[in-house]
Structure 1
Amino acid sequence: MSDNSSAIEATISAIAARIEQKNAAREKALAESRQVIRNAANSIRALHRHEFEQAAEMLEQGRTLLLGLKNVLSSFPDIYWAGYVQDAQKEYSEARLTYALVRGEVLPLPETLGVEDAPYLNALAEAASELRRYILDLIRHGAEHNEECEKLLEKMDEVYSRLVTVDYPDVLTGGLRRTTDQLRGVLERTRGDLTLTLRQRVLELALARYNASVDGKL
């Protein structure tokens, strides 16, 4: 074998080894991104069932996976920014932010969660939208939750009011404008549903008082 042939073989072998390493990192990123997304979805389901401890445990698992991914992909920025890691960051952040909003906690920062800015902002909009489901569940459980519903609606409104001021190209924000527009629709429907419910309950109380006064006169 000529020196030239040996050099080519060595070069190709070295490149193949680097590609193999990169492919292994990519496969790991895909698998663990999917796991983060599953954990986030299960955490939100547990949150709606008021299984707060279980929700928190799954959030911690997701955080650990994301931090591990960041370390694994530190040498492969093209894989890190390919999209699926950011999708996992968004879903995890949505679950974590929804948990904080429901539990009345201070919203964690993107640096605390270990996620990028664009996934965080979109997750915040989707977390606020997720409150609609929580509010509707509370409405179904009766008038004793009216105050909590109103507080959650105020949080939805505040998130929307802040996000609508973030006016930059979609390439920088990950399509935040569309996500914020969707939140506005969810917010208005929720406001309408809650307002109607509160008015109905005022009427029910007034009718109950009237019937009681009539019965007292008989």
Structure 2
Amino acid sequence: MNAIETVVAAAVAQIEASHTAREQALTLARALTRQCANAIRAVHRREFTEAAALLAEASASARALRESLADHPDLLYAGYSQDALKEYAEAALVYAFLHGDPPPDAASLGVDAAAYLNGLAEAASELRRAILDSMRAGATAHGVALLAIMDDIYSLLITIDYPEAVTGGLRRTTDALRAVLERTRGDVTAAIRQDHLIAALEAFEQRLDRLQAATLPRNTPLEQSDGG
């Protein structure tokens, strides 16, 4: 019995350690997800200083999450951990795209390749909001530039063809991006056509004004003669 008690106690100790690590990881993952969501909101409000501060907090949380699970790789690659790291990649990429910085890679963020690629796809989808904001502000050229980034990301992700278990469900995320991309492309196309129509109307009005200005001097003497 002593031998059995010893091996059972050792197994229970391992489970207790895993349970403690899991609870800590869940807390860190929730904090990381919240920080990333707040950072993305700040970026959309163009509050880049606040967004950078939130990303710094998120970076510390992501590092703490990885370090806390260094001895528990099964928990590091569990869904909640990878989802939180994916959110971190998304927030960092959205900041880079809208701030005009080079996009960070997976190694610099310290995230797994699958989490990074899924975060990249979701960051591209997040650009839709920025594009629509640009359209409403009349900054069509900026919206077109962001749409080109969305298109480039989708074109690259669609070429990645590996099992979903390896890519963390990247195919589903890419399919969702395609739907967002097509809707956004339609919105941008409509905005461009509207801009062209407004420009054509303004040009037509200017031509009418020039024609009226050109004919007015010839009519004036006649009007003066009739009045005499």
- TM value normalised by structure 2: 0.87
Shift of 1:208: 1.8
- Identify the residue that residue 169 of structure 2 maps to in structure 1: 175
Q: Which amino acid aligns with 2:191?
A: T
Q: Distance in 1 between matches of 2:6 and 2:173?
A: 50
- Identify the residue that residue 143 of structure 2 maps to in structure 1: 149
Segments of 4+ moved more than 6 angstroms: none
Q: Aligned to 2:69, what secondary structure does the other structure show? A: helix
> Aligned-residue CA RMSD in angstroms?
1.6
Q: Which amino acid aligns with 1:148?
A: H
Q: Which amino acid aligns with 2:200?
A: A
Q: Distance in 2 between matches of 1:16 and 1:179?
A: 39
Of stretches 14-23 and 29-38 in structure 1, the one that deviates more from structure 2 is 14-23
- Identify the residue that residue 153 of structure 2 maps to in structure 1: 159
Q: Which amino acid aligns with 2:45?
A: R
Shift of 1:14: 4.1
The answer (yes or no) to whether the contact 2:42–2:51 under 8 Å persists in 1 is: yes
Shift of 1:85: 0.5
Query: Structure 1: 5+ residue runs without aligned partners?
Result: none
Q: Distance in 1 between matches of 2:61 and 2:33?
A: 11
Shift of 1:9: 4.6
Picking from 92, 109, 115, the partner of 1:113 is: 109
Q: Distance in 2 between matches of 1:203 and 1:16?
A: 73
Query: Structure 2: 5+ residue runs without aligned partners?
Result: 214-228
Picking from 25, 32, 47, the partner of 2:28 is: 32
- Identify the residue that residue 193 of structure 2 maps to in structure 1: 199
Give 1:1-218 correspondences, 5 Å limit. 4-5=1-2, 7-142=3-138, 145-216=139-210, 217=212
Q: Distance in 1 between matches of 2:116 and 2:91?
A: 11
- TM value normalised by structure 1: 0.91
Which structure has the larger Rg? 2
Shift of 1:80: 1.4
Shift of 1:11: 4.5
Q: Distance in 1 between matches of 2:33 and 2:127?
A: 19
Percent of paired sites with the same residue: 50
Shift of 1:86: 0.1
Shift of 1:109: 1.1
The answer (yes or no) to whether the contact 2:140–2:191 under 8 Å persists in 1 is: no
Number of matched pairs: 212
Shift of 1:171: 0.8
Shift of 1:69: 1.4
